Amino acid sequence: MSQPFRLNKEGLINRNKKISFTFNGKKLFGYEGDTIASALIANGIHLVGRSFKYHRPRGFFGAGVEEPNAKLQVEFNGHSEPNVNATEMELVEGLSATSQNCWPSVNFDVGAINNFLKMFFPAGFYYKTFMWPKSFWYKIYEPFIRKAAGLGVASIEKDKERYEHKFEYCDLLVTGSGPSGLASAYAAAKNGAKVILAEDKPRFGGTLLTDDVSIDNLSGKDWAEKIITELKSMPNVTVKNRSQVFGYYDHNMLVMFERVSDHLEKKSKFTPRQRLWYIRAKETILSTGSIERPIVFGNNDTPGIFLSAAAKEYMKVYGVLVGKKPLIFTNNDSAYETALEFKKNNVEPIILDTREEHSSELIDEAKSKGIDIRFSHGVIVANGYKKVKSAKIGKLNKDKNSFEKIETVDCDCICVSGFWTPSVHLASQSGNKLKYEEKIDAFIPDKKKQHETSVGAANGSFTLEESLKNGFENGSNLSAKITDTKTEITIPNVNEKKYGAHDKLWCMPLPKNENPKRFVDFQNDVSVSDIEIALREGYRSIEHVKRYTTLGMATDQGRTSNLNGLQLVSNIENKIVPEVGHTTFRPPFTPITIGTIVGREVGMEYMPTRKTPMHEWHKKNNAVFVDAGAWKRPRYYKQGNETLFEASKREAKNVRENVGICDVTTLGKIDIKGPDAAEFLNRVYTNAWMKLPVGKARYGLMLREDGIVMDDGTTTRISENHYHMTTTTAQAANVLSHLEYYLQIVWPELNVNVVSTTEQWAGAAIAGPKSRDMLSKLYPDLDVSNDTLPFMGYKEADFFGVPSRIFRISFSGELAYEINVKSDHGMFMWEKMMDVGKEFGNQPYGTEALSTLRIEMGHVAGPELDGRTIPSDVSLNGLVSKKKDFIGKNSLGREAFNVESRQKIVGLIPIDRKSSIPEGSHIVQDQNGKLPNPKLGHVSSSCWSVENNNPFSLAIMKDGKNMIGKKFFAVSPLKNKSIEVEVISSHYVDPEGKRVRS
Amino acid sequence: MLYIKCPYCGLRAQKEFSYGGDATVKRPNINEEVSNEDWDNFVYMRKSPRGKHIELWQHIAGCRQWIKVQRDTATHEIFQTAKVTEEIR
Ligand SMILES: [Zn+2]
């Protein structure tokens, strides 16, 4: 096996370690340190994909994040990932890559017919073609477009990899380890600042790895290595490679994506694949460098056409030639370095320079090396379908709008350079309004918006000397402000080649009668003519042109296309680029995996799990759990093959006939203390609280200021200035914030303190006609008679050696008690209850039975208190005091709250006494009524009444009690059910409430 | 993500706080007559300014204190934070 395009010596790869991989099924190898791209190019493979719209053959264009074409489906470490950038993904043993967007294969692609039908694919094609008929969209257009134009295929397997999040704080975050970044980090580190230096690539140094420069008599690469080694040895510095800072958010929060182990063959189970860093930096240095932009010409998307700096990087970093017969096509001096590099490796390039003949350090050097330079020349159109074979080149006239001479030259690659575009994405994301810099035909950051400072090429300084100076100074000054230390640093001597001025030409004219495709945006297949059409059709704003043509909207964010697109628009519009403006830069700068965003918040870690102290008992006794917020609550205790329905019926029936116990630990509990506690409760609740004696509980209702019921629960007066409030499980947190709001802001004069004690108490309800008998066995020394512990009574007593609180309150409508002990004693209490309760036929019951019991009693809960009901809607107006003021009282007088026909609570039973009514059903007069069928109300809660042995529901219905006795239909299109129902009272069982007082 | 200086705890991440709306709204006094208009203004009417806004936040995952935050609603810049008993001007 040989690699025809691999150089013998050059590069930073490890030639001692071969790595096998496959591409489209073909077995190949590369070396440690290769990317997929460099390994494929070394093997002479350039055709890697098909373009998005026209399915034109596409090859590599860049060598890093700027790559618009080479997005592959890659399988490695047991997972398959789409849209992987081949120029960034490092080669690992066993990796297998395949081309996307081609069928049946990249070499023979059926979709390529689109290329010959291109009149059907102009700008706005999607908007125009697939609009009508509307019904075609889902069945025909969309599936077709997806299949034909899709990028990669997302895996439907569970992602087994581990992803992590990390929160970090630092004085200075440096984004990019090129010369200016290294200098900034170094200067700040020397001042004692806490520094994070982030480099997107595996290797530190940026352009120092590829540019022919020296710093303090060291080569650029060696100097970078020296600085990095020193930075790594400093305790105040964190140095990270493979780490892309992709987003700049509010208050100097930056987010970084670290590829921790994708490049590793083996890793420990606990090594994350990728890590997301949330970095709060006091100051940020944006040393993100610049990206070369192409010159637009005919068929400029043919495989074998590269950015010239990428071609140089392939030689200098990977020891790979992108071709052996290169054409260097440039409007500036930097591409001469690529030509010289080819020459150094014994490859003869031809330079086509759009500028007129002149002299500069680099041009002179190229001339002295005998390189063929043709001034006032450029590529008109590339020839070759799957790979460039030759190019039609032309000598430009003085105005550069036509040709004096046209000829064809053979070549196997074209390395193009249209000058440099600063990477201003992060600066722009920070809120920095960019400004257009005429000198470089590009945008650079303007006035600071947050604490961001752009340095080096990212700020439009393209010389090493300037970049270093810029870096050292800013790193030193910014950090000195934070650390109050300033260490003198001598700026090193630099040896670099001086560049001459660049030419503003960015798009080659076409000879008469020739009209090849000239692409501006490769990834989204947007050509010059597409943009021309958009403008012809009246799109003016650059944001609209972008959306209509999809220019710059692909995953590469138009890194190589934005400015050329702007140039084109401004040319046609006869404006200058800054008048056209630029589109918005949005995070992420590079695509990141969903796994990284999610981090560890999957499965059990998706949210915290709250368990009651009795959880293990429930588990052991076949409880089936249900989520109540973060809590796990037993829904029912399964016996044998019971269904939910059977088990909950059994449990509820046992409460009505004997006694049951229920874990009510999850109820919100708030301790309220202070001399003004009674006054506070009196304002918070709708009913009167000033006269509640010590040792008594009361049911209370609280409203929002708009009169809507917020929550209900019992509050007990433990002692003179001490109350124990309970809230529903769901509203516990909101009620606490609500109380704190009034105490801290509205009535700070009230001397009251509130604190959540939900976690401090374990609670168990004992409910059923035999509950008193059971209670007397639990408290043999206590008088629990109806006289001493009446309904709404409270006692503190010793429970087999542990202190406990006994509340005589009931949610089930039965004679019932609630016992609270400290959480640590919860399990002890529960087991004792199960033991003592045996002789009374005690059974545990879950939330399903709990619901059944409360529904048939007509007790309202969450489904009725749904944020739309006022007290009278749910028959709780008896609890609304007319005498005193309270939160929300003034709203109850609103006209809409007092109309007779308002929807109010009622009970429903099916006429056939058999069909369960689905919750959420709508109540209508005529089940076959014409749509829109007037809705009279909805079913809020449904159960099987164990008392009456038939279904029963609560509903919120227009005209409420006035409808009692009438028949309607409960319709549920979701369940495809329509059930005839009769309206009855919402209090289906024990309407007088005798049992709770028995 | 915002970085909010709790007057009790110092600079903390936004996720420790919950938002509580306009801090300049004053509830009519309890046990006092209030006109329907004043009540409606208190319950429903809120300004939605572009720019400086004094608002309430609660440090729910910290000291649980409600605090005042003066923030630019367009840029998210925070100019000042204070205890609810203090004035922001
Ligand atoms: Zn705080």
CA distance B60 to A157: 38
Chain A's closest residue to B31, CA to CA, is A885
- pLDDT tier, A642 (very low <50, low <70, confident <90, very high otherwise): very high
- A164-290+422-486 with A294-418+499-512: one CATH topology? yes
- pLDDT tier, A648 (very low <50, low <70, confident <90, very high otherwise): very high
Interchain contact, B39 vs A891, CB within 8 Å:
yes
> What's the confidence (pLDDT) of residue A128?
60
Q: Which residues of B touch A884 (CB under 8 A)?
A: 31
User: Could you read off the pLDDT of A294-338 as tens digits, one per residue?
Assistant: 999 999 999 999 999 999 999 999 999 999 999 999 999 999 999
> What's the confidence (pLDDT) of residue A557?
86
For residue A164, the CA-to-ligand 1 centroid distance in Å is: 27
Least confident of A263-277, A359-373, A641-655, A774-788: A263-277
DSSP annotation of A742: I
Minimum-distance CB partner of A740 among B2, B31, B66: B66
Least confident of A222-226, A402-406, A568-572, B6-10: A568-572
Interchain contact, A884 vs B43, CB within 8 Å:
no
Residue A237 has pLDDT above 60, yes or no: yes
Mean pLDDT of all residues in A695-699: 97
Return the CATH architecture of domain A164-290+422-486: 3-Layer(bba) Sandwich (3.50)
Cα A390 to Cα A371, A381, A385: the distances in Å are 19, 9, 11
Q: Which residues of A touch B56 (CB under 8 A)?
A: 745
Name which residue leads in pLDDT, A36 or A523.
A36
- pLDDT tier, A137 (very low <50, low <70, confident <90, very high otherwise): low
Q: Which residues of A touch B87 (CB under 8 A)?
A: none
Structure tokens at A653: 């029936």
Chain B's closest residue to A887, CA to CA, is B30
> What's the confidence (pLDDT) of residue A118?
55
In this structure, which CATH number among 1.20.1270.10, 2.40.30.110, 3.50.50.60, 1.10.540.10 belongs to the domain A899-998?
Answer: 2.40.30.110
Chain B touched by A671 (CB under 8 Å): no
Minimum-distance CB partner of B27 among A251, A280, A746: A746
> What's the confidence (pLDDT) of residue B84?
96
For residue A702, the CA-to-ligand 1 centroid distance in Å is: 27
> What's the confidence (pLDDT) of residue A1?
53
Least confident of A110-124, A629-643, A817-831: A110-124
CA distance A38 to A70: 11
Minimum-distance CB partner of B39 among A249, A747, A890: A890
In this prediction, what percent of chain A has a pLDDT beyond 70? Answer: 95
User: Could you read off the pLDDT of A729-744 as tens digits, one per residue?
Assistant: 999 999 999 999 999 9
DSSP annotation of A499: P
For residue A242, the CA-to-ligand 1 centroid distance in Å is: 37
A-contacting residues in B 4-63 (Cβ below 8 Å):
13, 18, 20, 27-28, 30-32, 34, 36, 39, 42-44, 56, 58, 60
> What's the confidence (pLDDT) of residue A112?
66
Residue B4 has pLDDT above 90, yes or no: yes
Measure in Å the smallest separation between the Cα of B43 and chain A Cα atoms.
6
The residue extents of the domains of chain A are 14-129, 164-290+422-486, 294-418+499-512, 518-584, 663-852, 899-998
CA distance A227 to A188: 13
Chain A's closest residue to B85, CA to CA, is A745
CA distance A738 to A885: 17
Interchain contact, A740 vs B3, CB within 8 Å:
no
Minimum-distance CB partner of B84 among A431, A745, A891: A745
Cα A597 to Cα A162, A248, A592: the distances in Å are 12, 15, 8
Cis peptide leading into residue A932 (ω within 30°): yes
DSSP one-letter string for A530-543: HHHHHHHTT--SHH
Minimum-distance CB partner of B60 among A737, A748, A885: A737
CA dihedral (B10, B14, B17, B20) positive or negative: positive
Inside any domain, residue B89: no
- The number of beta carbons lying within 10 Å of the beta carbon of residue A801 is 7
- pLDDT tier, A110 (very low <50, low <70, confident <90, very high otherwise): low
Looking at A177-307, list the stretches that DSSP marks H as alpha helix, in order from N- to C-terminal side: 179-190, 220-232
Inside any domain, residue B10: yes
Mean pLDDT of all residues in A148-177: 87
Cα A960 to Cα A215, A322, A704, A874: the distances in Å are 87, 81, 23, 10
Residue A136 has pLDDT above 70, yes or no: no
For residue A483, the CA-to-ligand 1 centroid distance in Å is: 26
Torsion of CA A822, A824, A830, A836, to 10 degrees: -80
Measure in Å the smallest separation between the Cα of A473 and chain B Cα atoms.
28
Interchain contact, B1 vs A278, CB within 8 Å:
yes
User: Could you read off the pLDDT of A794-831 as tens digits, one per residue?
Assistant: 999 999 999 999 999 999 999 999 999 999 999 999 99
Cα A468 to Cα A171, A287, A419, A474, A497: the distances in Å are 20, 11, 21, 10, 15
Chain B touched by A890 (CB under 8 Å): yes
Which domain range does residue B78 map to?
3-83
Chain A and chain B share a number of CB contacts under 8 A equal to 55
Interchain contact, A891 vs B75, CB within 8 Å:
no
Inside any domain, residue B23: yes
Measure in Å the smallest separation between the Cα of B50 and chain A Cα atoms.
16
Write the CATH number of the domain with boundaries A663-852.
3.30.1360.120
Mean pLDDT of all residues in A422-427: 96
B-contacting residues in A 280-309 (Cβ below 8 Å):
280
Measure in Å the smallest separation between the Cα of A885 and chain B Cα atoms.
5
Residue A543 has pLDDT above 60, yes or no: yes
Residue A346 has pLDDT above 90, yes or no: yes
- The closest of A296, A301, A294, A292 to A525, measured between CA atoms, is A301
- pLDDT tier, A53 (very low <50, low <70, confident <90, very high otherwise): confident
Residue A820 CB-half CA count within 13 A: 24
Residue A151 has pLDDT above 80, yes or no: no
Q: Which residues of B touch A737 (CB under 8 A)?
A: 18, 58, 60
> What's the confidence (pLDDT) of residue A77?
80
For residue B85, the CA-to-ligand 1 centroid distance in Å is: 15
Chain B touched by A249 (CB under 8 Å): yes
Inside any domain, residue B50: yes
- pLDDT tier, A76 (very low <50, low <70, confident <90, very high otherwise): confident
> What's the confidence (pLDDT) of residue A141?
61
Mean pLDDT of chain A, nearest integer: 93
pTM, entire model: 0.90
User: Could you read off the pLDDT of A916-957 as tens digits, one per residue?
Assistant: 999 999 999 999 988 899 999 999 999 999 999 999 999 999
CA dihedral (A205, A207, A211, A213) positive or negative: negative
> What's the confidence (pLDDT) of residue A116?
58
Inside any domain, residue B77: yes
Write the CATH number of the domain with boundaries A14-129.
3.10.20.440
Chain B touched by A749 (CB under 8 Å): no
- pLDDT tier, A278 (very low <50, low <70, confident <90, very high otherwise): very high
Mean pLDDT of all residues in A411-430: 97
> What's the confidence (pLDDT) of residue A129?
56
Measure in Å the smallest separation between the Cα of A543 and chain B Cα atoms.
21
CATH 1.10.10.10 fits A518-584, yes or no: no
CATH of the domain at B11: 3.30.2270.10
For residue B61, the CA-to-ligand 1 centroid distance in Å is: 8
Interchain contact, A741 vs B20, CB within 8 Å:
yes
Return the CATH architecture of domain A294-418+499-512: 3-Layer(bba) Sandwich (3.50)
Phi-psi region of A708 (alpha: psi -120 to 50; beta: other; left: phi over 0): beta
Chain B touched by A897 (CB under 8 Å): no
- The closest of A630, A651, A629 to A642, measured between CA atoms, is A651
In this prediction, what percent of chain A has a pLDDT beyond 90? Answer: 85
Measure in Å the smallest separation between the Cα of B49 and chain A Cα atoms.
19
Total structural domains within chain B: 1
CA distance A877 to A701: 10
> What's the confidence (pLDDT) of residue A142?
62
Residue A446 has pLDDT above 80, yes or no: yes
For residue B66, the CA-to-ligand 1 centroid distance in Å is: 8
